[in-house]
C-alpha cells in the first residue's frame, strides 16, 4: 500500500467515526513543520497527512523559520545538522506551548542537549531488525483507535506469524538508539520487550510535558516511514502521527469528542493522569501558591525523628565541589550528562536534578530525610 493510500485510509476511518470534526479542524488549522535528516525522510509521510500546512525543510533552513507559526515540529534523525544556534529557539517553541517530535538518533543532539534530565540514549546500538511492539496505554489520545484497528482482519492477515493480534512490528534501522527514561514525568506509550531483552531498555514511543504553556516533547525510536515494518506497522505509525496532530489541534481549538462503540478512547473521559498540564509551576510558585493540603504528604514524627515542624531549605550546589557520580534522590540516576541546575536538601545533603525536584516538591517533603522542603 502506498503512503497516499495508507493515509487516505486513516483519514477515512477517522472521518467516518467520532473524530470527523477533529479531522476538519486539523485540515483547516493544523500546521506541521518537518526537518528532514540523513536517515529520516518525513516528506514521504508529511505530504500525505491531512492539515492546513505540511512543510518539509532542510536542517540548515531552520534559522529562517518562526517555529511558533506551527503546532507540531518534527526533527528527523539524526538532527545533528540543525545549527546549535537554533537550540534556544527550539526550546522556546516548546516553552511557548509547541509540540516537538523527534526520531531515533535525534535523542542525543536535541533531547539530551536542549531538554536534559528526561530521557537519554542508553549507549547500546540495535541491529537492523523488525521487532514486535506492545501498546502500554491504548486509551491515550496519541494511540486513539490504534489497538482496535490493528486487530481487524485486514491488518492481521498482513502481519508476521509471530506477531500477536494486538501487537505490530516496528523497524529498527541498523544502530537505532534505545531510549532510557530518567524522569518519572516521562510517559511510555509503546514499548518492546524484544528491544529490552536484546538492548537493555524497552521504550518505543515516549513523551513529557515541558514549560508552563502546554509544551510537549515526543520521541520515538526508529523513523516515521518504517519501510520494513510491514503494512500493520506502517498503519499504526500513520494512526499515531495523525493522532498527535489531532490531539494538538483538539486542545488548541477546545474540541471534545465522545467515543462511538468499538473505538478505543473516550475524549471526555479523564485520563489516569492529566494530559494537558498547562501550568507546571516553578519551585518558587509552588510554595507561594501551594495546592490543597490533601496533595501533600504529612511527615510523621517517626520518620527519621523529624516531627511536623521539621523543615529543610533547598540550596544550589556548586558543581565544582560536587561529584557527578552521586545519585539523584528522586530518580536514582547520576548527574554525568546533566547541564541544568543541581539542587540539594540543606539538612541531609540529598541531591536532586532540577526537574526531579520539581516533581518531589509536590510531595512536600525531602525524599531522603522527610523534612518539609522550603525554597
pLDDT at 305: 39
Distance CA 64, CA 43 (A): 19
CATH entry 3.40.50.880 includes domain 3-253 = yes
**What's the pTM value of the predicted model, to 2 decimals?**
0.69
- For residue 100, the surrounding DSSP H or E stretch is strand 99-103
Those residues of the chain that have pLDDT short of 50 are 155, 159, 258-288, 290-309
Nearest to 49 by CA among 74, 69, 17, 68: 74
**CA angle at residue 314 from 330 to 287, to 5 degrees?**
95
Angle, helices 3-15/20-29, rounded to nearest 10 degrees: 130
pLDDT at 375: 77
Distance CA 294, CA 261 (A): 37
Distance CA 207, CA 217 (A): 5
pLDDT at 151: 77
Angle, helices 230-253/3-15, rounded to nearest 10 degrees: 50
pLDDT at 296: 40
pLDDT in tens, 203-234: 999 999 999 999 999 999 988 876 665 677 78
Q: What cell numbers appear for 40 in the block?
A: 529520516
Beta bridge mates, 179? 121
* Residue-range domain boundaries for the chain: 3-253, 283-374
Amino acid at each position: 500500500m502506498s503512503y497516499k493510500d495508507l493515509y487516505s485510509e486513516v483519514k477515512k476511518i477517522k472521518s467516518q467515526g467520532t473524530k470527523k470534526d477533529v479531522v476538519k479542524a486539523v485540515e483547516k488549522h493544523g500546521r506541521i513543520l518537518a526537518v528532514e535528516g540523513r536517515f529520516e525522510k518525513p516528506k514521504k509521510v508529511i505530504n500525505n497527512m491531512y492539515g492546513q500546512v505540511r512543510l518539509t525543510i532542510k536542517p540548515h533552513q531552520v534559522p529562517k523559520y518562526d517555529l511558533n507559526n506551527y503546532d507540531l515540529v518534527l526533527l528527523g534523525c539524526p538532527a545533528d545538522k540543525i545549527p546549535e544556534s537554533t537550540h534556544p529557539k527550539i526550546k522556546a517553541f516548546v516553552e511557548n506551548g509547541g509540540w516537538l517530535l523527534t526520531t531515533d538518533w535525534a535523542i542525543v543532539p536535541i533531547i539530551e542537549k536542549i531538554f536534559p534530565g528526561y530521557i537519554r540514549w542508553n549507549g547500546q546500538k540495535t541491529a537492523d531488525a523488525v521487532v514486535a511492539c506492545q501498546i502500554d496505554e491504548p486509551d491515550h489520545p496519541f494511540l486513539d483507535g490504534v489497538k482496535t484497528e490493528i486487530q481487524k482482519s485486514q491488518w492481521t492477515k498482513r502481519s508476521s506469524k509471530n506477531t500477536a493480534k494486538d501487537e505490530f512490528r516496528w523497524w529498527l534501522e541498523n544502530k537505532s538508539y534505545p531510549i532510557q527514561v530518567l524522569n518519572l514525568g516521562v510517559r511510555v506509550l509503546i514499548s518492546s520487550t524484544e528491544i529490552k531483552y536484546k538492548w537493555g531498555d524497552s521504550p518505543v514511543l515516549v513523551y513529557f510535558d515541558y514549560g508552563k504553556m502546554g509544551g510537549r516533547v515526543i520521541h520515538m525510536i526508529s523513523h516515521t516511514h518504517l519501510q520494513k515494518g510491514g503494512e500493520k506497522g506502517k498503519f499504526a505509525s500513520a494512526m499515531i502521527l495523525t493522532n498527535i496532530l489531532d490531539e494538538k489541534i483538539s486542545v488548541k481549538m477546545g474540541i471534545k469528542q465522545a467515543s462511538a462503540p468499538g473505538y478505543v478512547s473516550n475524549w471526555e473521559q479523564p485520563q489516569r493522569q492529566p494530559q494537558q498540564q498547562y501550568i507546571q509551576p516553578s519551585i518558587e510558585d509552588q510554595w507561594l501558591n501551594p495546592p490543597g493540603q490533601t496533595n501533600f504528604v504529612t511527615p510523621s514524627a517517626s520518620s527519621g525523628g523529624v516531627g511536623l515542624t521539621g523543615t529543610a531549605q533547598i540550596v544550589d550546589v556548586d558543581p565544582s565541589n560536587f561529584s557527578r557520580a552521586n545519585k539523584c534522590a528522586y530518580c536514582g540516576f547520576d548527574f554525568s550528562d546533566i547541564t541544568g541546575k543541581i539542587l540539594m536538601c540543606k539538612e541531609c545533603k540529598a541531591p536532586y536534578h532540577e526537574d526531579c525536584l520539581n516533581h518531589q516538591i509536590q510531595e512536600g517533603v525531602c525524599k531522603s530525610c522527610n523534612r518539609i522542603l522550603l525554597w
